[in-house]
Homo-oligomer: A and B are copies of this chain.
């Protein structure tokens, strides 16, 4: 008999396989989407239903992060930002939010209030209504503190579906990577006092990345926030099963020195660490420089092209990601399954 392992939740290949086995295989193709919409058939950041000439876009995510308060945010901040960013990555303007809270008996009501305030602050700053929700209490010991599920509703004229990635696309990263993952890792390992500068990058991308995605929607062939599994998992998923390969230049990937140093010391690859305020875009080469420039103007000053998509020259790299290392060599980038539980 097989059992759930931590790695099944880590956002990489083992998770995709489990989801295929227990979810996708249980859903006949005709039940994977609503006509003309986006559903389980594409496994994107969210789903969509076409209404008239627009799409209503839906994203849902459960948040189990440990600790629930961390430098740069908390589970409420993360739930709002994470769900908003899933909508943004579909090209949608978020308009409404619903949440369910599962909380442990004995949890301080003051902390619950802090978490809700933190979540709703993000929502209202982005003009998103909180239209409903649910609250459940579990007895002491049957859940560790609190989990939150967020569901977001957005509107899009055009939906960004990552399977549209194609030969020639430039890969853009909008901000320094791995900050959320490194921060949670440090807190879980009790190393935060040795890495005081670490801070989660949890933030909604509504004001910076969304306007650019909407302006260039026709040219943006894939968009993803590299949360669980990090950049390596996002890029690997994009080309998995295709005849494409993504070539990235490691030296060009934005990452802050103290984050790199902290992860290096532990032997952890920043490419496998979650970001919560970063977008990765695959953009038509015609407009890639323009998109970077627009992102800079909107405040994402670290935005840069880190690589490109090409037809795979051989089977070894087909459907895979190749990194040019700092010393000019080439290595395959595997979607890493860091056994770091409760990252988001």
Contacts and interface: CB of A to CB of B under 8 A. Distances in A.
Interface of A: 1-6, 8-10, 15, 18-19, 21-23, 26-28, 31-34, 37-40, 44, 46-47, 49, 51-52, 56, 58-64, 66, 95-96, 98-110, 112-113, 116-117, 120, 123-124, 128-139, 141-144, 147, 149, 151, 153, 341-342
A26 B120 contact: yes
A59 B58 CA distance: 13
B144 A39 contact: no
B98 A32 contact: no
Contacts of A61: 100, 134
A181 to B, nearest CB: 15
A151 B151 contact: yes
8 contacts: A3-B107, A9-B138, A21-B109, A33-B131, A34-B95, A34-B131, A60-B132, A98-B151
Contacts of A52: 51-52
A5 B136 CA distance: 11
Contacts of A102: 62, 64, 147
A110 B2 contact: yes
Given A62-B136, A141-B144, 14 more contacts: A2-B108, A2-B109, A4-B103, A23-B133, A31-B129, A46-B132, A47-B98, A51-B56, A60-B149, A64-B102, A64-B138, A98-B151, A137-B341, A142-B144
Contacts of A133: 23, 40, 60
Contacts of A47: 96, 98, 131-132
Nearest to A96: B34
Given A4-B112, A132-B58, A26 B107 contact: no
A32 B6 CA distance: 37
Contacts of A21: 109, 113
B98 A130 contact: no
B4 A109 contact: yes
Contact of A22 (B10, B37, B116): B116
A135 B66 contact: no
Contacts of A51: 51-52, 56
B142 A49 contact: no
Contacts of A134: 60-62
Nearest to A228: B136
A131 B4 contact: no
